[in-house]
Every structure is written in structure tokens, then in C-alpha cells.
Structure 1
Amino acid sequence: MGFHTFPTERAEALRDPSRYRFCSREELLESLPTGPETIVADLGSGTGFYTDDVAPFVGTLYAVDVQDEMHEFYREHGVPDGVELVTAEVASLPFDDGELDGAFSTMTHHEYASDDSFEELARVIGPGGRLVTVDWSRDGDGESGPSLDERFSLDDATDQLEAAGFTAESTRQRPETFHLVARR
């Protein structure tokens, strides 16, 4: 992934419920396709914090992370049924064309943002599928998350996805983060 990856020695911090102040389970679920046959990927799944929240509402959830150590941490806490751990970069996903009904990333867009990644997401998310992105905003105050120079603005992220063939359905700028739902 891009600028950096989260330090694995701080993995426990990714399971902190105070993260819901940036994106609640309900906000994420209302934006994603759900159902017993639905296939979704969590991009930059880390310790599975949000993966655990989404898994009961979809048929298959791929927890994608570039760091094997994060998957090991997740295994120690228990991986729910229907979740498959995938070690891969977003720019090189091991999925068939159009295999995914949707994907989401929470606080990781800035780590994988590249033309190759966006093209890969356009390849693996089927027509009509949704990509939900919640990330640290360049327009935030920088008190939480990565430094401002590692972040993207909501407009930048929207432009990146639209250049790859997505259409922005919903955008929300918040004090420290943005929420973007794009349809393939």
C-alpha cells in the first residue's frame, strides 16, 4: 500500500471502539450491498474491526491486507464464518473480473491510492457494485490519523474514482474524515 502501513506493534489500537466516531457500523452497512449471496471485500482490513461488523450481513467477506502480521493478529481474536483472509495489495487483487458486489475501505484509501489500484477495483467490482470509502481528509485538522500531507481531499478521492470508471453516488465531508460512496 502507498505511503505507509499501520505499525503491527500498535495493532491493538485498531480494535478500539472509539473508532466508531469516524465511521459507525450502521453508516457502513447502509452504504454497502448486503445479503446472503453478496460478496464484499474490506480493503486494508487490518485487525478485522470493521470486517467483524459487516460479516454477518454478507455471504462472503474478503479481508484484504498487505500485512500477514495483521491477519495473524486477527486470527488470534477469532475470524467469523464467511470471512476469508487475503494477503494482497489493492493494485493486485486475486479476484475474478466483476467478482465483487462491493468493497469498502475505512481509513486506508490514502495507503493504496494509485491509478493501478483504482483500475484494479474497477476490474473486480461488478457493474452496479459499490465502493465505500471513509478516509482521513486533507481538509481535517490533523489531530487524528496520518499527517495532512499523506491525505486526500474528498474532491481528489472523487476525481480518482471517477477517472477509473466509478460514479459518485454520495459524498460527505466531516470534520476529520470524508465518506464517499461510488458505483461501478
Structure 2
Amino acid sequence: MRQLRFYCFFIFLMSFNLACQAQSNSKDSKSPYKYKTPSWDGIGKVYLGREISHIMGFAGKDWLERDSREAEEGVSIAIKNLPITSSSVVADIGAGSGYYSFRIAPLVSEGKVYAVDVQDAAVNFLKERSEELGFNNVVAVKGSSTSPNLPENAIDLAIFVDVYHELEFPEEMLQNLRKSLKSDGKILLIEYRGEDPTVPIKPLHKMTVRQAKKELEANGFELVENRQFLKIQHFLVFQKKDE
């Protein structure tokens, strides 16, 4: 009985804290975020009408490296269509196991790939893997929840491959990334199509074009390419709006 009372009191405290957080947030007109009771796969934090999903931990590395990924997603054609040259500097935000980073590296032999992740296990893996593969132009970077921690005015292309929807602080991340992009730098979002219910991905891990445009435009970017060649994902290229 004592354990039951303690459990009920714990649940009450959790609910009370969430309600207080939501109430405090609603009174803060400067905050871009709202709060709600978390969905099954969400964190209860809402940005411009979209609940942010839980981050996939590095324990899911094997899923990123699955043999079927090329057939399912068409990674090769995505990389073939990246707006880069041999001297481009690319930032792979949320690089994970480096699935994209190490495939892009040979294409920017005179440039660089910043493989950014917030998880120590991923950053350590990226460092070790780049040494194993002999890619001197792949630099592992420990990012934070609000910043990719990249140098200013240095990036030609920043890519988010099935990652943007997991950003805990999307507005802060985009604003800090904006500083790191060159004047003609671009952002690429590759996201599972939220408009298509047949795409076998959890709803909060998908995005619609409309929602992506809403969030990027709110942070000073405009959609310049909406390519339709991927099987189950969007290929959306944004660049800075003229100031």
C-alpha cells in the first residue's frame, strides 16, 4: 500500500510539473515553444504546431547501417544530387554512424565534411571510423542541443538526414547554423514524407513539406528546391532569404 501511495504521488508530481511548465511557457510570449502531454513517441514540446519526437539513440546504429537502406531510400541518388563540388564544405548534422558522411567525403576531396552529433558514443565512433577509412577530410564534431558548434561563415551545405524532426531546440539550432553557413550556403532536409500514411515510419519521425517550409521560413530560409526522386523521403533544399 505504501508503494502504491508513493507511485500515485510520483505520477501526480510529474503531471503537476508538466502542467506548470506548460502554463509558464504559455505566459512567456517570447518563447517559440509550447508544451502538451507527450505523445507515445514525442517529448511533449511543440514548435509551430509540430510535436518534437524523441531522439534515436546511438544504440540504433545498426538500423542506420542496415543492408536494405539503399534499396529502401535510394541513398546513392540522393548523394548524386547534392549541390556540392569537390571543394565544398559539408556539415552532416546528426551524423550518427556517418552513413552519409563517409559517402560524401570522396566527393569533396578538396573540401571537408563536418560530421556533427550530440552523442559522445557517436562522435567517438566517427573519429575512429574516419581513421580506419583514411578520410582526413572528415572531422567529427560534438554538437549541442542548440548549436552544431561549427565555425562561422564556413559551410556550403548542411544536411539533416531524417534528423531535423528530432531537434530539441530547432529554432536555436537553425539560427546558430545560419551563422555557420556562407552567404550562399544551403540546408538540405531529407525527411520521410509526412503526407504519405503508407510510409512505414512513426508519425512524429516524418514531416510534410508544408511544415518544413513553415519552420525554415520562420528562421530566415526559403525553399529553393523540392525534388521528387526519392522513394519515401522529401529532398528539400533551403537557402538564406535576402536580408
TM-score range, shorter chain: 0.7 to 0.9
Residue identity opposite 2:84 in structure 1: P
Pick from 117, 127, 131 the counterpart of residue 173 of structure 2: 117
Corresponding residue of 2:187: 131
Corresponding residue of 1:141: 197
Alignment of 1:144-155 (within 5 A): 144-145=200-201, 147-155=202-210
Secondary structure class of the residue paired with 1:141: coil
Over the aligned positions, Cα root-mean-square deviation in angstroms equals: 2.4
Q: How many residues align?
A: 182
Deviations 1:50-83 (A, max 9, x none): 1111111121100001111123334454352200
Q: Please state how far the C-alpha of 1:118 moved relative to its aligned partner.
A: 1.6
173-182 or 125-134: bigger deviation: 173-182
Structure 2 Cα separation of the partners of residues 14 and 136 of structure 1: 14
Structure 2 Cα separation of the partners of residues 111 and 157 of structure 1: 13
* CA separation of 1:176 and 1:27: change in aligned 2, threshold 3 A: closer
Pick from 113, 117, 121 the counterpart of residue 61 of structure 1: 113
Deviations 1:72-131 (A, max 9, x none): 334454352200101113621222322111111111111116211221222211111111
Give 5+ residue unaligned stretches, structure 1: none
Q: Please state how far the C-alpha of 1:150 moved relative to its aligned partner.
A: 4.4
Alignment check: 8 A CA contact 1:106 1:133 kept: yes
Corresponding residue of 2:100: 50
Structure 2 Cα separation of the partners of residues 53 and 134 of structure 1: 16
4-13 or 119-128: bigger deviation: 4-13
Residue identity opposite 2:82 in structure 1: S
2:125 is the counterpart of 1:73? yes
* CA separation of 1:66 and 1:144: change in aligned 2, threshold 3 A: farther
Larger radius of gyration: 2
Residue identity opposite 2:214 in structure 1: D
15-24 or 58-67: bigger deviation: 15-24
Corresponding residue of 2:143: 88
Corresponding residue of 2:13: none
Structure 1 Cα separation of the partners of residues 204 and 165 of structure 2: 10
Corresponding residue of 1:28: 79
More relative contact order, 1 or 2 (CA 8 Å, 6+ apart): 1
Between the two proteins, what is the percent identity of the paired residues?
24
Corresponding residue of 1:176: 232
Structure 2 Cα separation of the partners of residues 90 and 35 of structure 1: 30
* CA separation of 1:29 and 1:105: change in aligned 2, threshold 3 A: farther
Residue identity opposite 1:24 in structure 2: V
TM-score by length of 2: 0.66
* CA separation of 1:115 and 1:161: change in aligned 2, threshold 3 A: same
Alignment check: 8 A CA contact 2:115 2:126 kept: no
TM-score by length of 1: 0.85
Structure 1 Cα separation of the partners of residues 198 and 175 of structure 2: 29
5-14 or 73-82: bigger deviation: 73-82
Deviations 1:135-175 (A, max 9, x none): 12322326533x21343211111221122222211114666
2:64 is the counterpart of 1:14? yes
Alignment check: 8 A CA contact 2:155 2:181 kept: yes
Secondary structure class of the residue paired with 2:214: helix
